[in-house]
């Protein structure tokens, strides 16, 4: 793998991303409908692009301070305060990062000593285990079951907590499952956190994409503000994946430690991206809501379509991913995804890319247009016909799960 050059053992131990390999193949194929990558299809609003262009025209091409533009930190603090009643000090409790990705890496490096354990839900976002390992920590999978809407059980979290457990990594609305715990479920998780004196790294990048109930930031739960690091960014809500800008909000000592690493490794996030992010926060609420409403329609279309053709799928409460079971087909997730790609030209991601608990599922991103979603469903249906696969009965949702 290293081509003869000796590389660090930590890096050698990290498997290449299954998703990347798969999508390298997809990019070389024609007429593929991709339900693969979690990337909003509508791009960045023009007013946001113009803010960056304007800054460039004015010659604003320098570094910013390590913590990021104070105007951006103030705008984020005001938005979090107005929206969630979370009031962070923009000077000491906020850091602008190169996306949530950098915030995650900084947080883990600032918190972990070698061998410290981090609880990670299984399945969850592909970057979590390698980032923990690269920071010298040990990722510890905690199952989140389909029958629990992929919300972890407090007793399972408790069972995996040891004296070495330092942090719990949460992500809701979740990738790849779309899971959103109720407030009561979050409070039960918070009780475990309190009992074992853990830090919570809460990746809330899909906070605006919670369809059935208002988003509850973990830091708003009683006693959690002082032990929670909130990570968020502009990639998903504002269609800004390529700009690479996000933020971390949390206790001043942790933000200070993260800033010390960031000042030597990234220096600062791109100035143009930061200026664009200030403008993004001025996008009227009704425009954001229109996007969310559009995703809600796509969610309905994909989930009912998948169930109709016999791939049992729970209704995800947030994000833009459906996570149907393919168990009834008799194929494993990898075989299913590979054959579907080559035989029916639909790309989706094998569920076990997100942890062993994802086996038997595939992830379908529905950040694509309704006609594309419908065509993808029709192609999968024909593929199942040719396969002679048995079909699962439709998932009937339990009562209103979002009720707190
Ligand atoms: N966290 C989750 C849960 C994600 O799904 C993604 C991207 O798909 C990221 C973080 C990466 O975010 P960013 O673009 O802000 O680095």
- CATH number for 350: 3.90.1150.10
| Stretch (H or E) spanning 365 | strand 362-365
- Place 2 in a pLDDT band, splitting at 50, 70 and 90: low
- Domain C-terminal end among 280, 308, 339: 280
pLDDT for 241 equals: 95
Does 311 share its domain with 233? no
Nearest residue (CA) to ligand 1, atom 10: 100
The Cα–Cα gap between 227 and 12 comes to 33
Domain co-membership, 273 together with 312: no
pLDDT score, position 38: 75
Q: Cβ neighbours of residue 165 under 8 Å, at least 6 residues apart? A: 116, 117, 118, 119, 140, 196, 198
236 and 262 both lie in a single domain: yes
Name the residue range of residue 295's domain. Answer: 2-44+286-403
- Whether 174 and 312 map to the same domain: the answer is no
On whether both 25 and 51 belong to a single domain, the answer is: no
Q: So what's the pLDDT on residue 401?
A: 42
- Check if 239 has its Cβ closer than 6 Å to any atom of ligand 1: no
pLDDT at residue 124, as a whole number: 97
Q: Are residues 195 and 63 in the same domain?
A: yes
Q: Tell me the pLDDT tens digit for each residue of 148-161.
A: 999 999 999 999 99
Average pLDDT, the chain: 93
Whether residue 6 is found in the same domain as residue 17: yes
Average pLDDT over residues 207-215: 97
- Within 8 A by CB and 6+ apart from 324, the residues are 306, 307, 311, 312, 313, 361, 362, 364
The last residue of one of the domains, among 235, 256, 280, is: 280
Task: Supply the pLDDT for residue 397.
Answer: 60
Give the model's pLDDT for residue 309.
95
Q: Is residue 246 domain-shared with residue 326, that is, in the same domain?
A: no
Which residue did the predictor score with more confidence, 2 or 9? 9
The DSSP code for 85 is S
Q: Is 203 in the pocket of ligand 1 (CB under 6 A)?
A: yes
**Residue 360 alpha carbon to ligand 1 centre in Å:** 23
d(CA 175, CA 206): 9
3-state SS, residue 322: strand
pLDDT(243) > 90? yes
CATH number at residue 93: 3.40.640.10
The reply to whether 169 and 305 lie within a common domain is no
Ligand 1 pocket test, pick from 125, 170, 354, 355 with the greatest ligand atom count within 8 Å of Cβ, gives 125
State the pairing for strand pair 228-233/246-249. Answer: antiparallel
Q: Which of 249, 177, 172, 154 lies closest to 213 in space, CA to CA?
A: 172
Alpha carbon of 399 to ligand 1 centroid (Å): 31
Helices 252-265 and 99-111 meet at what angle, rounded to 10? Answer: 110
Domain count of the chain?
Answer: 2
Residues 66 and 19 in one domain: no
pLDDT of residue 116: 98
Q: Is the pLDDT of residue 36 over 80?
A: yes
Q: Is the CB of 209 under 6 A from ligand 1?
A: no
Question: Quick one: 55 and 100 in the same domain?
Answer: yes
pLDDT of 404 above 60: no
Q: What is the pLDDT of residue 345?
A: 95
Q: What angle do CA 281, 298, 288 make, to 5 degrees?
A: 15
Residue 398: band (very low, low, confident or very high) from pLDDT cuts 50, 70, 90: very low
Task: Kindly state if the Cβ of 365 falls inside 6 Å of ligand 1.
Answer: no
In the predicted model, what is the mean pLDDT of residues 247-276?
Answer: 98
Binding site membership of 368 for ligand 1 (Cβ less than 6 Å): no
Report how far residue 379's alpha carbon sits from residue 396's, in angstroms, rounded to the nearest whole number. Answer: 24
Looking at ligand 1, which atom is closest to the CA of residue 206? 3
CA of 187 to the centre of ligand 1 (A): 25
* pLDDT on residue 388: 84
Average pLDDT estimate for 316-326: 97
Q: Which residue has the higher pLDDT, 398 or 182?
A: 182
Q: Considering 280, 299, 330, which residue would you say is the last residue of a domain?
A: 280
Q: How far is the CA of 358 from the centre of ligand 1 (A)?
A: 18
The neighbouring-strand residues paired with 321 are: 365
CB 38 less than 6 A from any atom of ligand 1:
yes
Contacts of 360 (CB under 8 A, 6+ apart): 325, 326, 327, 332, 333, 351
Most informative mutation of 37, 173, 175 for ligand 1 (most atoms within 8 A of CB): 175
Nearest to 97 by CA among 250, 244, 265, 280: 244
User: Looking at ligand 1, which atom is closest to the CA of residue 100?
Assistant: 15
Cα 82 to middle of ligand 1, angstroms: 24
Strands 165-171 and 117-122, sheet pairing: parallel
**Residues 214 and 242 grouped into a single domain:** yes
CB distance 278 to 79 below 8 Å:
no
Region of poorest pLDDT, from 33-37, 158-162, 226-230, 353-357: 33-37
Exposed e or buried b for every residue in 134-167, given b needs 16+ CB within 10 A?
Answer: bbebbbbbbbbebeebbbbbbebbeebbeeebbb
Q: How far is the CA of 231 from the centre of ligand 1 (A)?
A: 10
Position in ligand 1 atom list of the atom nearest CA 38: 8
pTM, 2 dp: 0.94
Lowest mean pLDDT among 37-41, 112-116, 277-281, 324-328: 37-41
Looking at residue 310, its pLDDT comes to 93
- Model confidence at 31: pLDDT above 80: yes
Would you state the structure tokens that stand for residue 182, as one six-digit string?
Answer: 């109720």
- Is the predicted pLDDT of residue 400 greater than 90, yes or no? no
- Where does the pLDDT of residue 222 fall: very low under 50, low under 70, confident under 90, or very high at 90 and above? very high
Ligand 1 pocket residue status of 205, Cβ below 6 Å:
yes
Residues near 32 by beta carbon (within 8 Å), at least 6 away in sequence: 26, 341, 345, 346, 347
């Amino acid at each position: 793998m290293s081509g003869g050059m000796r590389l660090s053992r930590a890096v050698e131990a990290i498997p290449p991303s299954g998703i990347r390999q798969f999508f390298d193949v997809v990019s070389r194929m024609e007429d593929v409908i991709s339900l693969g990558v979690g990337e909003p299809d509508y791009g960045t609003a023009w007013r946001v692009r113009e803010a960056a262009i304007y800054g460039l025209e004015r010659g604003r091409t320098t570094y910013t301070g390590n913590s990021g533009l104070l105007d951006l930190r103030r705008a984020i603090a005001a938005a979090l305060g107005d929206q969630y009643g979370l009031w962070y000090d923009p000077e000491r409790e906020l850091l602008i990062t190169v996306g949530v990705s950098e915030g995650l890496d900084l947080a883990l490096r600032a918190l972990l000593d070698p061998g410290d354990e981090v609880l990670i839900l299984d399945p969850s976002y592909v970057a979590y285990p390698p980032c923990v390992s690269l920071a010298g920590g040990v990722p510890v999978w905690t199952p989140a079951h389909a029958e629990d809407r992929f919300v972890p059980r407090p007793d399972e979290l408790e069972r995996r907590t040891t004296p070495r457990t330092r942090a719990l990594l949460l992500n809701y609305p979740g990738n790849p499952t779309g899971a959103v715990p109720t407030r009561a479920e979050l409070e039960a998780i918070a009780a475990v956190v309190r009992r074992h004196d853990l830090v919570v790294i809460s990746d809330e990048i899909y906070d605006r994409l919670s369809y059935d109930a208002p988003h509850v930031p973990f830091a708003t739960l009683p006693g959690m503000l002082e032990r929670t690091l909130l990570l968020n960014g502009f990639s998903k809500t504002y269609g800004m994946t390529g700009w690479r800008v996000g933020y971390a909000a949390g206790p001043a000592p942790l933000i200070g430690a993260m800033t010390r690493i960031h000042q030597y490794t990234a220096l600062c996030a791109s100035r143009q991206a930061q200026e664009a992010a200030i403008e993004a926060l001025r996008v009227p609420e009704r425009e954001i809501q229109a996007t969310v409403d559009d995703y809600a329609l796509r969610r309905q279309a994909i989930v009912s379509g998948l169930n109709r053709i016999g791939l049992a799928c729970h209704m995800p409460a947030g994000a833009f991913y459906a996570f149907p079971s393919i168990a009834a087909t008799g194929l494993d997730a990898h075989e299913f995804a590979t054959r579907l790609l080559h035989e029916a030209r639909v790309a989706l991601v094998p569920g076990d890319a997100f942890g062993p608990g994802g086996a038997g599922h595939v992830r379908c991103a529905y950040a694509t247009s309704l006609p594309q979603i419908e065509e993808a469903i029709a192609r999968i249906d024909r593929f199942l016909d040719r396969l002679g696969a048995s079909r699962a009965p439709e998932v009937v949702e339990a009562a209103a799960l979002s009720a707190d």
